[in-house]
Amino acid sequence: MTEKVHENQRQRAPSQRSLATRDRIFDAAEHLFADRGFEGASIRDIARAAGVQGALVSHHGGSKEALFATVVTRRAQELARLRQDALAQAKAEGPLTLRRILTCFIAPFIDKTLNGGAAWSAYGRLIAHVSSDVRWQHIAQSCFDPTVRVFLAEIAAILPESSQQKISTHFVFMVSAMLSLCTSRWRIAGLADSDPPQDAAGDLAADLTAHLLAFCEAGFRS
Amino acid sequence: MTEKVHENQRQRAPSQRSLATRDRIFDAAEHLFADRGFEGASIRDIARAAGVQGALVSHHGGSKEALFATVVTRRAQELARLRQDALAQAKAEGPLTLRRILTCFIAPFIDKTLNGGAAWSAYGRLIAHVSSDVRWQHIAQSCFDPTVRVFLAEIAAILPESSQQKISTHFVFMVSAMLSLCTSRWRIAGLADSDPPQDAAGDLAADLTAHLLAFCEAGFRS
DNA sequence: GTCTATAATGAGATAGAC
DNA sequence: GTCTATCTCATTATAGAC
């Protein structure tokens, strides 16, 4: 079999260089969409940040909407896997508690977005846009709802007296609070009249995760 | 004293018609900024929605940024007054509890944004943009932080063992959950596999307020 | 796969008539 | 206070050379 393939089959795999360029474009798009929203980030901005020409952004990302969806989807799979792996491990280690279920959902996200580097930090803010704008409902449904439904079912088993409506409402409260750690830490710092807590005092992500978990577990049990 | 004034004094009061036009422009801007964000809403869209020419939007609103700030500020004063009046009345009626403090903050907002008509509904979503984007920090500080600090002080008096950092963090969690009722009810409905609860069953705002209050009070006490 | 060049449209803002 | 007209620049997207 030669390197040549039938015309209706896929072309040969993209080169290393092409893949690297594509990832630079997606990283730049992720960062700018996160910071300035869908309309606030222009293709030109993204191209400049990635160090390429505008036409190349369209080549790799398609239309601007397709690029947005691609960038959101890109890390969603890894995040879903982290969460479901954590849940599977928690199940293997003993009977599930509400706290353990919520931890499996929140801890991977906070760990990545606060300790996972600039790209994951931007991704957290990007998801906040998706979660608060009905225009991206289709993305939320395909990227996040399947995993969320798994967690909702586990919570419902722990809290049999709570209606599905109530559990779903509380879950959205929890997600909103979680995302506020990506979008609104400036607000917390401003209200606390203190500098944002430095890593000097320890693991910021662990502290915030514990805070958030305590808040939400109590809320679910209310 | 004639109608003529010194050139460096203010001109005569605007006409009724001018005020009505200005309000139509601000209402249109509020709605479009809320739905599509700052960059997503164009001056031209706003002019068309208000039924005026583009130049008139600039005339009444100044630059686009100034227009955005004006529209956010416009209802902030009324909201602050509603919240502080509720707090004053609660104080007059007896010793404050955590639940009563949180109610004074949340209930006026939910009542207006869910039962106060389309303009207040849009305003709720608009505030969600301000709260989640550090670019609008100066607006949040001037419009909302003064009232928030009053409530933080009352909460601190009820929860003397909680640090200011913890109370501020929990307060931001609460505000995020509250705003999710303006931005993400579609998400709750999608996850609950049920139509969004209809008003037929009663007062939607009252039900959601009670839900949210229970969740957040338990969180604060965690 | 990457570039240059450009098409086609829309953006924010303002000058000046009425 | 409101409108028409226009300036200047940015926008997304694509065609076509290499």
Across residues B195-221, what is the average pLDDT? 85
Radius of gyration of chain B (CA): 20
Contact yes or no for B171 and A148 at CB 8 A: no
Protein residue ranges contacting nucleic strand C, Cβ under 7 Å? A 14-15, 17-18, 21-22, 52-56, 59-60; B 41-45, 54-55, 58-59, 63-65
User: In which region does residue B198 sit, left (phi positive, over 0), alpha (psi from -120 to 50) or beta (all else)?
Assistant: beta
Q: Which residues 18-77 in chain A have a CB closer than 7 A to strand D?
A: 41-45, 54-55, 58, 63-65
Q: Indicate yes or no: strand D within 7 A of the C-beta of B194.
A: no
A105, B114, B212 from B122: Cα distances, Å: 31, 10, 20
pLDDT tops 60 at residue A5: no
Whether chain B has a CB inside 8 Å of the CB on A145: the answer is: yes
- Residue A61, CA: closest nucleotide via C1'? D13
pLDDT digits (tens, 9 = 90+) for B71-95: 999 999 999 999 999 999 999 999 9
> Which of the two residues, B2 and A115, has the higher pLDDT score?
A115
Question: Measured on CA atoms in the order A178, A179, A180, A184, is the torsion positive or negative?
Answer: positive
Question: Is any atom of strand D within 7 angstroms of residue B44's beta carbon?
Answer: no
> Is A211 in Cβ contact with B169 (below 8 Å)?
yes
For A74-99, what is each residue's pLDDT tens digit? 999 999 999 999 999 999 999 999 99
Q: Does B89 touch chain A (CB under 8 A)?
A: no
Q: Do B191 and A172 touch (CB under 8 A)?
A: yes
The minimal CB distance from A140 to the residues B128, B145, B187 is found for B187
Whether the pTM exceeds 0.85: the reply is: yes
Q: Quick check: B128 contacting A, CB < 8 Å?
A: yes
* Percentage of the residues of chain B whose pLDDT score is greater than 70: 91
Cα–Cα distances (Å) from A87 to A81, A222, B3, in that order, read 10, 23, 76
pLDDT at B7 over 50: no
Question: How many CB atoms are closer than 10 A to CB B102?
Answer: 24
- Residue B200: its pLDDT value, please? 59
A143 near B CB under 8 A: no
- Averaged pLDDT score across all residues of chain A: 93
| Alpha-carbon distance values, B45 to A33, A53, A67, B124, B125 (Å) | 22, 30, 25, 20, 18
Confidence band (pLDDT; 50, 70, 90) for A204? confident
The predicted pLDDT at position B4 comes to 40
Model confidence at B60: pLDDT above 70: yes
pLDDT beyond 90 at B213: yes
Q: Quote the percentage of chain A above a pLDDT of 90.
A: 85
The yes-or-no verdict on residue B6 having pLDDT over 80 is no
- Look over chain B and give the mean of its residue pLDDT values, rounded to a whole number: 93
Residue keyed to tokens 């002019």: B47
Separation in Å: C4 C1' and A142 CA: 38
Dist CA A61 CA A29 (whole Å): 10
The DSSP result for A44-112, as a single string, is: HHHHHHHTS-HHHHHHHH-SHHHHHHHHHHHHHHHHHHHHHHHHHHHHHHS---HHHHHHHHHHHHHHH
Does A166 lie at the interface with B, CB-CB under 8 angstroms? yes
Residue–nucleotide distance: A18 CA to D14 C1' (Å):
21
- Of A172, A68, A208, A58, the closest CA to residue A129 belongs to A68
Check CB contact of B22 with chain A, cutoff 8 Å.
no
Q: Give the tens place of pLDDT for each residue, A17-75.
A: 888 999 999 999 999 999 999 999 999 999 999 999 999 999 999 999 999 999 999 99
Percentage of residues of chain B with pLDDT beyond 90: 85
Q: Which residues on chain A are in Cβ contact (under 8 Å) with B68?
A: none
Residue A199 has a pLDDT of: 59
Place of tokens 């404050």: B96
C1 C1' to A143 CA distance, Å? 30
* pLDDT value at B153 more than 60: yes
